[in-house]
């Protein structure tokens, strides 16, 4: 991108990282100064569609941003439709005559507009890949968790991401816990993390839970995930903001508390352990590449995760003791009404 279409960079107010990319596209998608795609989008509209047309990928990114559409969800859902078209599950009768062929990003761009304007086949795609899968009787082929498409950090390459996707409060979201950074070598020792073999399924539970707790706090503070000041510094900033001392241990506790509150909320809405799962495709080994032959030992990892979290294996809920430990007693009447009575009697 830097060698071809990038013309500049940009940033949020005063940010020294300046992660924005400004690009100029030519040809049929000619635009003067538009927002350049980042990693997820290049994968979603490039690799997943099998297109190497960078200018078209940049334009697709620009369209999604202009329409307020998430590029991971849109690109993945369109790619899923391409897959089902290849299988003959979706036909031109469904698409209004459109032919969905690998490598054809122009049709993908057309579909982005149809999703945004809720036209024709775009109405169906706009519901996301889980709904598309359900509609055509192939939900198990959709690469999503609890309705959210999986981001571009494959649990077969970094097994801990499997726990993150499966247990995130809003589906397969990589921003609920960037375990991929830890597995690529950036363990935050201040938070008690240690480096692990990214291909192994051993010892991932504690670190996955800890990065989730940390991000739960961090996201609550509305901080950019690219900046990552050292954790003690975050605790000091939080102390300055609220006017009382918060040390790192309490900051982690607050993150764990927030994470479990979100879990309790989702439990009340019907979430249980059966929802903590990975898409079938991500539990099948790749045949080549750096992650060839690796699949997470997901059941084992999830059992360890439940133990670390203090969650009940039968129901998928935080145990009554965990909720009390975190000062979330007020959730007991909904989650554990009998335990609530027992604890009151204590
Ligand atoms: S790194 Fe974060 S704060 Fe900085 S420009 Fe990028 S998004 Fe904005």
Q: Are 340 and 320 in contact (CB under 8 A)?
A: yes
Region 92-115 average pLDDT: 98
| Distance set, CA 51 to CA 3, 74, 79, 105, 106 (Å) | 18, 15, 11, 6, 10
* C-alpha of residue 344 to centroid of ligand 1, in Å: 48
Region 235-263 average pLDDT: 97
* C-alpha of residue 151 to centroid of ligand 1, in Å: 19
Mean pLDDT computed over every residue of the chain? 95
- Quote the pLDDT of residue 269: 96
d(CA 181, CA 157): 12
- Quote the pLDDT of residue 346: 54
0.85 surpassed by pTM: yes
Query: What 8-state DSSP symbol labels residue 174?
Result: G
- Quote the pLDDT of residue 341: 59
> Over the stretch 299-317, which tens digit does the pLDDT of each residue have?
999 999 999 999 999 999 9
Torsions phi, psi for 286 (to 5 deg): -80, 150
Q: Are 316 and 267 in contact (CB under 8 A)?
A: yes
Q: Which ligand 1 atom is nearest residue 16's CA?
A: 4
> Over the stretch 104-117, which tens digit does the pLDDT of each residue have?
999 999 999 999 99
In sequence order, the β-bridge partners of residue 144 are 149
Region 175-203 average pLDDT: 90
Strands (E), 58-149: 144-145, 148-149
Give me the percent of the chain exceeding a pLDDT of 70. Answer: 98
Q: Tell me the best of 10, 16, 20, 37 to mutate to test the pocket of ligand 1, counting ligand atoms within 8 Å of each CB and taking the most.
A: 20
- Quote the pLDDT of residue 340: 58
Output the 3-class SS for 13-30.
CCCCCCCEEEEEECHHHC
Residue nearest to atom 6 of ligand 1 (CA): 19
Domains of the chain, by residue range, sit at 6-139, 148-345
15 lines ligand 1 (CB under 6 A): yes
* C-alpha of residue 42 to centroid of ligand 1, in Å: 18
- Quote the pLDDT of residue 36: 96
Q: Which ligand 1 atom is nearest residue 10's CA?
A: 5
CATH C-level class of 6-139:
mainly alpha
> Over the stretch 56-67, which tens digit does the pLDDT of each residue have?
999 999 999 999
pLDDT over 80 (residue 338)? no
Letter string b/e over residues 19-41, b meaning 16 or more CB atoms within 10 A of that residue's CB: eebebbbeeebeeeebbbbeebb
pLDDT over 80 (residue 342)? no
Where residue 196 falls among pLDDT bands split at 50, 70, 90?
confident
Angle between helices 205-220 and 298-309 (to 10 degrees): 60
d(CA 120, CA 5): 33
Where residue 35 falls among pLDDT bands split at 50, 70, 90?
very high
175 lines ligand 1 (CB under 6 A): no
Residue 173, helix vs strand vs coil? coil
H helices of 221-297, in order, are 231-242, 248-268
- Quote the pLDDT of residue 52: 96
Please state, as a whole number, how many other Cβ atoms lie within 10 Å of the Cβ of residue 277.
17
Tell whether domain 148-345 is in CATH 3.30.230.10.
no
Q: Which ligand 1 atom is nearest residue 18's CA?
A: 5
Q: Which residue has the higher pLDDT, 193 or 100?
A: 100
Q: Tell me the best of 8, 10, 14, 15 to mutate to test the pocket of ligand 1, counting ligand atoms within 8 Å of each CB and taking the most.
A: 15
* C-alpha of residue 66 to centroid of ligand 1, in Å: 19
Region 172-190 average pLDDT: 91
- Quote the pLDDT of residue 74: 98
Q: Tell me the best of 8, 9, 10, 11 to mutate to test the pocket of ligand 1, counting ligand atoms within 8 Å of each CB and taking the most.
A: 11
In sequence order, the 6+-apart residues with CB closer than 8 A to the CB of 153 are 161, 174, 180
| Distance set, CA 290 to CA 39, 52, 179, 296, 317 (Å) | 18, 21, 18, 15, 36
By residue count, the chain amounts to: 346
């Amino acid at each position: 991108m830097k060698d071809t279409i990038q013309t500049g960079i940009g940033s949020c107010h005063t940010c020294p990282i300046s992660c924005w990319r400004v690009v100029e596209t030519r040809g049929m998608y000619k635009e003067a100064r538009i927002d350049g795609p980042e990693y997820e989008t290049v994968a979603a509209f490039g690799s997943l569609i099998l297109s190497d047309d960078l200018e078209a990928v940049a334009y697709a990114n620009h369209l999604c941003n202009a329409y307020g559409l998430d590029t991971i969800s849109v690109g993945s859902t369109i790619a899923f439709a391409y897959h089902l078209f290849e299988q003959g599950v979706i036909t031109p009768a469904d698409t209004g005559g459109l032919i969905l062929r690998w490598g054809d990003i122009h049709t993908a761009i057309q579909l982005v507009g149809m999703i945004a304007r809720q036209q024709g086949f775009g109405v169906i795609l706009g519901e996301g890949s889980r709904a598309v899968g359900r509609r055509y009787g192939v939900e198990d082929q959709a690469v999503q968790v609890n309705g959210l498409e999986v981001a571009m950090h494959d649990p077969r390459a970094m097994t801990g991401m499997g726990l993150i996707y499966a247990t995130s409060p809003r589906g397969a979201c990589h921003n609920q816990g960037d375990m991929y950074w830890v597995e690529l070598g950036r363990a935050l020792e201040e938070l008690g993390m240690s480096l692990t073999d990214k291909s192994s399924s051993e010892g991932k539970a504690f670190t996955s839970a800890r990065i989730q707790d940390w991000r739960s706090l961090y996201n609550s503070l509305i901080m950019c995930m690219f900046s990552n000041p050292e954790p003690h510094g975050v605790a000091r900033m939080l102390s300055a903001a609220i006017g009382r001392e918060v040390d790192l241990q309490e900051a982690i506790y607050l993150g764990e508390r927030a994470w479990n509150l979100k879990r309790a909320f989702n439990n009340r809405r019907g979430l249980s352990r059966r929802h903590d799962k990975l898409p079938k495709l991500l539990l099948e080994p790749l045949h080549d590449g750096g992650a060839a032959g690796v699949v997470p030992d997901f059941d084992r990892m999830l059992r360890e995760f439940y133990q670390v979290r203090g969650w009940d294996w039968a129901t998928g809920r935080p145990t009554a003791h965990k909720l009390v430990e975190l000062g979330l007693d007020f959730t007991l009447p909904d989650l554990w009404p009998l335990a609530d009575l027992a604890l009151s009697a204590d």
